[in-house]
Amino acid sequence: MSSSFRFLACTAALLIAGTSAAQNNWIDRTTPSGPSHRVTPGMTYDPARGNMVMFGGLQTSPVIAYQNDTWTWDGSAWTQRTPANSPPGRSDFAMGFDAARSRAVIFGGFLNGNSLNDTWEWDGATWAQVVTATQPSPRRDARLTCDPVRGVMVMFGGLAATAVNETWEYNGVNWTQVTTAGSPPARMLHGQAFDVARNRTVIFGGLDSLFGPARGDTWTYDGATWTQVLPATSPSARGWLEMTYDLARGVTVLFGGTDLGFFPFNFDDTWEWNGTNWSMATPATVPPSRDSHAIAYDQGRAKVVIFGGYDASFSGRNDTWEYGSANAATWFPFGSGCAGSAGVPVLAASGTSVPRLNTTLQLTVGNLPSPGTVYMVFGWSNTVWNSLALPSSLQSFGMPGCTAFVSVEAGSLIAGSSGTASWSLFVPNSPALIGTRFFNQAVSIDPAAGNAGGAVVSNAGQGRVGN
């Protein structure tokens, strides 16, 4: 749809271009108001609503207390939310974002000397407890990440009666313990992330118990087997570290942690995993050393974000830092489609395609009736279209259960083949476009869908132009 970016190029002078800040550097984004000093909160990025979500943790100042507050970060300011329902306060819990169901999920944690095993979900407005037929035993210090390829959340390890090496998966309805051919040794307080480029959950380090010793091993999980990887270089052994996946650059980022050694007992180093090896980054500016902090990747702005944690003097912090390229190109899916005669249409980028200057972004739509026709929507917003607030139900358009996620500024009909359609978008070589965001969603023309509209929709996607 070259006309979409001809339109974009014509309006580029009115758009905010990317900054010329140094690449892959840490920047202090601490604001005057925000969450209190705390350790071991949970944080994840909510792509459906375009903000970072942080919950709970152990407040260290002005008084020590378990928190049950919910905050969102939009890249400029923290906002405390006032949900109708909230989980009980806690620290040391597992938290991640369920991309298939557009929900932030938390499990377990620690409160007043007791480990927990409850499951809660955040839908952007409030928290709801999910009661499952089976669930892991009470535990703290496990790690939870989303495997978007298989549509499940993966949780490993944690401290139950002792540290465990259990692998559990959550599908939005129930928890299932997975028996794998191989498994990492039991651990807690390790780093865990999902490597999108290689479709693997990756973990590093952790502790055998609250008192160590620390580990320095790397493992990956493909949904069936855990495999130990033996890289040429690795971070030093540590626990209480945090990891997240940088979608724009295709690497897993690790920051901080502690080996429970002598002062200074925690780290301020940044490491990156490329699927084969760890390499230590050398940014010009680094946050103060810390452990027990929160970390997540802001897909919309292509930034790794950290908050809080213990500093070198064992005091809790309340600072916010961001790391990444100033001008990274990204495209990522969000939201959920609705089922048609061939299943739920799925909108995705082809391979590692992103909207980079002077290149072509390639998107595909799968699960279409054969041969299939798609109307690909291109818009500038995922919050409002004319006077309609987004996301919005399409029931009034004869498509019950379907949701519009993006505004409609342009669109085109695409003929599919064998249940799949492809869409290309050439991005002009215009630096003024850097930082521009746009949104996509596909409408599958499907007379056999069984609704009055004769169509269903896919999930949505958000792009950010970069170089």
What confidence tier does 3 reach under pLDDT thresholds 50, 70, 90? Answer: very low
* In-domain check, residue 343: yes
- In this structure, the answer to whether residues 79 and 191 fall within a common structural domain is yes
Which residue's structure tokens are 């320095």?
216
- Mean pLDDT across 362-376: 94
> How distant is the alpha carbon of residue 127 from its chain centre?
18
- In this structure, the answer to whether residues 353 and 316 fall within a common structural domain is no
What's the CATH code of the domain at 127?
2.120.10.80
Q: What is the pLDDT of residue 345?
A: 96
- In this structure, the answer to whether residues 207 and 141 fall within a common structural domain is yes
* Mean pLDDT score of the chain: 92
- In this structure, the answer to whether residues 94 and 193 fall within a common structural domain is yes
Strands, E assignment, 32-159: 37-39, 42-46, 51-61, 65-73, 78-81, 94-98, 103-111, 114-122, 127-130, 143-147, 152-156
* In-domain check, residue 434: yes
H or E stretch including 7?
helix 2-10
Percent of the chain clearing pLDDT 90 (strictly above): 80
- In this structure, the answer to whether residues 351 and 236 fall within a common structural domain is no
* In-domain check, residue 19: no
What confidence tier does 15 reach under pLDDT thresholds 50, 70, 90? Answer: very low
d(CA 233, CA 162) in angstroms, rounded, equals 30
pLDDT, tens digit, 9 for 90 and up, residues 136-160 = 999 999 999 999 889 899 999 999 9
pLDDT, tens digit, 9 for 90 and up, residues 212-249 = 899 999 999 999 999 999 999 999 999 999 999 998 88
Q: What is the pLDDT of residue 262?
A: 62
3-state secondary structure of 432: helix
Domain limits at 253? Answer: 25-324
- Mean pLDDT across 353-379: 94
Q: What is the pLDDT of residue 9?
A: 35
Q: What is the pLDDT of residue 13?
A: 26
Q: What is the pLDDT of residue 140?
A: 98
Of the residues 300, 324, 348, the one at which a domain ends: 324
Paired with 152 in beta bridges are 147
pLDDT, tens digit, 9 for 90 and up, residues 82-118 = 999 999 999 999 999 998 888 999 999 999 999 999 9
* In-domain check, residue 152: yes
Q: How many domains does the chain have?
A: 2
* In-domain check, residue 255: yes
- In this structure, the answer to whether residues 87 and 167 fall within a common structural domain is yes
- In this structure, the answer to whether residues 255 and 278 fall within a common structural domain is yes
Q: What is the pLDDT of residue 409?
A: 95
| Residue 261 confidence (pLDDT) above 80 | no
pLDDT, tens digit, 9 for 90 and up, residues 429-455 = 999 999 899 999 999 999 999 999 999
What confidence tier does 264 reach under pLDDT thresholds 50, 70, 90? Answer: low
- In this structure, the answer to whether residues 319 and 341 fall within a common structural domain is no
Instruction: Provide the whole-model pTM.
Output: 0.81
- In this structure, the answer to whether residues 202 and 153 fall within a common structural domain is yes
- Mean pLDDT across 369-390: 92
pLDDT, tens digit, 9 for 90 and up, residues 278-317 = 999 999 999 999 999 999 999 888 899 999 999 988 899 9
What's the CATH code of the domain at 343?
2.60.40
Of the residues 302, 324, 346, the one at which a domain ends: 324
Backbone angles phi, psi at 14, to 5 degrees: -95, -5
Q: What is the pLDDT of residue 242?
A: 98
- In this structure, the answer to whether residues 268 and 348 fall within a common structural domain is no
- Mean pLDDT across 28-34: 93
- In this structure, the answer to whether residues 277 and 389 fall within a common structural domain is no
Is the four-CA dihedral 464, 7, 352, 344 of positive or negative sign? positive
pLDDT, tens digit, 9 for 90 and up, residues 188-215 = 999 999 999 899 999 999 999 988 899 9
Q: Which two structure tokens, joined as six digits, stand for 281?
A: 């980054």
Of the residues 289, 324, 359, the one at which a domain ends: 324
* In-domain check, residue 422: yes
* In-domain check, residue 426: yes
pLDDT, tens digit, 9 for 90 and up, residues 394-428 = 999 999 999 999 999 999 999 999 999 999 999 99
| Residue 121 confidence (pLDDT) above 90 | yes
Q: Which two structure tokens, joined as six digits, stand for 143?
A: 């790690």
| Residue 11 confidence (pLDDT) above 70 | no
What confidence tier does 23 reach under pLDDT thresholds 50, 70, 90? Answer: low
Residue type, 62: P
* In-domain check, residue 20: no
- In this structure, the answer to whether residues 171 and 220 fall within a common structural domain is yes
